[in-house]
Amino acid sequence: MAAAASQSVKIARRGLMLVISSPSGAGKSTIARTLMDKDKQIGLSVSVTTRQRRQSEIEGVHYQFVSQREFERLRDSDSLLEWAQVHGNYYGTPREAVETAMGEGRDMLFDIDWQGAQQLQEKMAADVVSIFILPPTMAELQSRLHRRAEDTEEVIQTRLNNSRAEIAHWREYDYVIVNDDLNSAFDAVQSIVKAERLRRDRRHGLFDFVEGLIA
Ligand code: 5GP
Given ligand 1 and candidates 90, 113, 148, which is best to mutate, with the most ligand atoms within 8 Å of its CB?
113
Q: What is the model's pTM?
A: 0.93
Over residues 32-67, the pLDDT tens digits come to 999 999 999 999 999 999 999 999 999 999 999 999
Over residues 91-100, the pLDDT tens digits come to 999 999 999 9
Over residues 105-149, the pLDDT tens digits come to 999 999 999 999 999 999 999 999 999 999 999 999 999 888 877
Q: How far is the CA of 89 from the centre of ligand 1 (A)?
A: 9
Measured from the Cα of 29, ligand 1's closest atom is 12
Residue 151: pLDDT band by 50, 70, 90 thresholds? Answer: confident
Closest-CA residue, ligand 1 atom 1, reads 24
CB of 177 closer than 8 Å to CB of 134: yes
CB of 76 closer than 8 Å to CB of 90: no
Q: How far apart are CA 171 and CA 21, in angstroms?
A: 12
Given ligand 1 and candidates 44, 108, 112, which is best to mutate, with the most ligand atoms within 8 Å of its CB?
112
By CB neighbour count within 10 A (0-12 exposed, 13-18 middle, 19+ buried), where does 95 fall?
Answer: middle
pLDDT value, residue 2: 53
The ipTM estimated for the assembled molecules is: 0.99
Q: How far apart are CA 36 and CA 111, in angstroms?
A: 12
